Amino acid sequence: MVTGIKDTAHAVEAAAVMGLLPARPRLLALGEPTHGEDALLDLRNELFRQLVEEEGYRTIAIESDCMAGLAVDDYVTSGTGTLDEVVERGISHGWGASEANRELVRWMRAHNLRVDDEGRPASERLRFVGFDGPLEITHAASPRQALTALHGYLAAHVDADLLPCTGKTLDRLLGTDDRWTDPAAMTDPTRSVGQSAEAGELRLLADDLVALLDTQTPHLIAVTSREDWDRARLYGRTATGLLRYHHRMADSSPARMTRLLGARDRMMAHNLLAVAERGPALVHAHNGHLQRAKSSMRMGGTPLEWWSAGALVSARLGEGYAFVATALGTIRHRGVDTPPPDTVEGLLYALPRDRCVVDAPRLAAVLGDTRPAPRVSPWFGYSPLDPARLADSDGIVFVRDVP
């Protein structure tokens, strides 16, 4: 069986990954089974460089705050700010401290300057996108930044009579930001302001502002730019998404956590669909956010299931979306040792390569009815492959050992 699997394995290179696909996808999603390992981010960086140089990719989208990521994009496209500043405040979840993330941003900026002192033409510049909502495990952000940015853009360029409210009205309804970011609200719905009268009014106003943005599209693109209009659309998606998320935080029903998880991945999906409009992009996030199948987890002993961002985007884009999962052999510093030989990871671990990309549907065909055992990780931070879902991905990147 190892011989049959070996025939499906190739070096982890852009050409090998693209060779698994029927056509160049608009979104090539590379998942990871754990966060915080620079070895996996170094592999991502290497693959992105090859996709840029060999396949014409221009954008990378990572699992990070979409609003904060604008600072990183401004830096790599125009040099605004400094590398230290933008990785610290522009990459969320604490991942700005990653040397691999820092190197990604540094290389993108250098690439955009490579032609001459003026830099590459705008159409050829690399772009950085955070596609997660402004959400952390401990709290969700206030909708203030996105909502006021959207209002400010519209107020500067459309007739004041068309606006549904003034900036002062938004400020009054929003109140202080700590009302929205109270960590206690993550576990206690009564501490959330998401279903207050003010929040309800803000949801209606946000909807009206997004509708105004849509109806004024020809005018707004003409007097500003498509780039500014795209950014305003991001403000709108984020404002409405955050207000919906806060509404769910105040929900005391048994479906509360399922709805929150679904709301987050919906925000991710809408941001990825916007990225797809620009052209081909590499997407990087946890396997659970990018897979085509339903995502699942247990929280407090309760099983939860929801459709991932990848599932939502794949349903819309078809062959325009491709998903390559990453699997690991060992993470010994986390207590994840050599995988049992009867698991998918164990079979891949027996291959001679330290890193390889495997044709997942072919691997599933080689295994046939011989279903490998699910691997059980002793560390909660690593999610092994589900052997029943091998054919749902287009490929598997296998990393033998994470140092």
327: CATH:
3.40.50.11550
Q: Do residues 47 and 87 share a domain?
A: yes
Q: Are residues 148 and 290 in the same domain?
A: no
Q: What is the pLDDT of residue 238?
A: 98
Contacts made by residues 217-220, CB under 8 angstroms, sequence distance 24+: 219/157, 219/158, 220/157, 220/158
Report the range of poorest mean pLDDT among 28-32, 103-107, 118-122. 118-122
Tens-digit pLDDT profile for residues 122-155 = 889 999 999 999 999 899 999 999 999 999 999 9
How far apart CA 268 and CA 257 sit, in angstroms, is 17
Rounded alpha-carbon distances, angstroms, from residue 35 to 138, 275, 285: 17, 23, 9
How many domains would you assign to the chain? 2
User: How confident is the model over 336-355, as a mean pLDDT?
Assistant: 95
pLDDT band at 371 (very low <50, low <70, confident <90, very high): confident
Residues 148 and 214 in one domain: yes
Asked if 31 and 43 count as a contact pair (C-beta separation under 8 A), the reply is no
pLDDT bracket for residue 1 (50, 70, 90): low
Question: What does the pLDDT look like over 278-294, one tens digit per residue?
Answer: 989 999 999 999 999 99
Residue 318 exposed, middle or buried by CB count within 10 Å (0-12, 13-18, 19+): exposed
32, 286 contact by CB (below 8 A): yes
Same domain flag for 3 and 116: yes
- How far apart (Å, rounded) are the C-alpha atoms in residues 94 and 28? 25
Q: How far is CA 351 from the centre of its chain?
A: 31
- Judgement on whether residues 326 and 223 belong to the same structural domain of the protein: no
Same domain (yes/no): 286, 246: no
The shares of helix, strand and coil residues in the chain, as percent rounded to the nearest 5, are: 55, 15, 30
Distance from chain centroid for Cα 391:
22
> Three-class SS of residue 31?
strand
The pLDDT of residue 302: 86
Contact call for residues 275 and 283 (beta carbons, < 8 A): yes
Q: Which pLDDT score, from 0 to 100, does residue 8 have? A: 80
> Last residue of a domain, which of 228, 263, 298?
263
Specify the amino acid at residue 397. V
Q: Which of 77, 80, 124, 84 has its CA nearest to residue 101? A: 84
**Which has the closest alpha carbon to 357: 330, 382, 326, 386?**
326
Residue 109 has pLDDT above 90, yes or no: yes
Say if residue 111's pLDDT is above 90: yes
Boundary residue ending a domain (232, 263, 294): 263
What average pLDDT does range 232-249 have in this prediction? 98
Residues 243-280: pLDDT tens digits?
999 999 999 999 999 999 999 999 999 999 999 999 89
Q: Residue 115: what pLDDT? A: 61
Q: Are residues 214 and 298 in the same domain?
A: no
- Are residues 110 and 1 both part of a single domain? yes
Dihedrals phi, psi of 302, to nearest 5 degrees: -100, 125
Residue that is last in its domain, among 218, 246, 263: 263
pLDDT the model gives residue 2: 56
pTM, entire model: 0.96
Domain range for 372 is: 1-136+268-401
Assess whether pLDDT exceeds 70 at residue 201.
yes
Tell me the average pLDDT across 350-354. 93
| φ and ψ of 60, to 5 deg | -125, 135
Under 8 Å between Cβ of 284 and 61: yes
pLDDT at 370: 84
Residue % of the chain over a pLDDT of 90: 90
Residues 247 and 373 in one domain: no
pLDDT digits (tens, 9 = 90+) for 54-89: 999 999 999 999 999 999 999 999 999 999 999 999
Same domain, 366 and 311: yes
Residue 116 pLDDT > 70, yes or no?
no
Closest to 242 measured CA to CA, from 254, 218, 260, 256: 260
User: What are the Cα distances from residue 208, in Å, to 123, 141, 151?
Assistant: 32, 21, 10
Are 150 and 168 in a shared domain? yes
- pLDDT at site 118: 67
Cα 302 to Cα 380: distance, rounded to the nearest angstrom: 16
Q: What's the pLDDT at 54?
A: 96
94 & 119 share domain: yes
Indicate the burial class of 22 (C-beta count within 10 angstroms; 0-12, 13-18, 19 or more): exposed
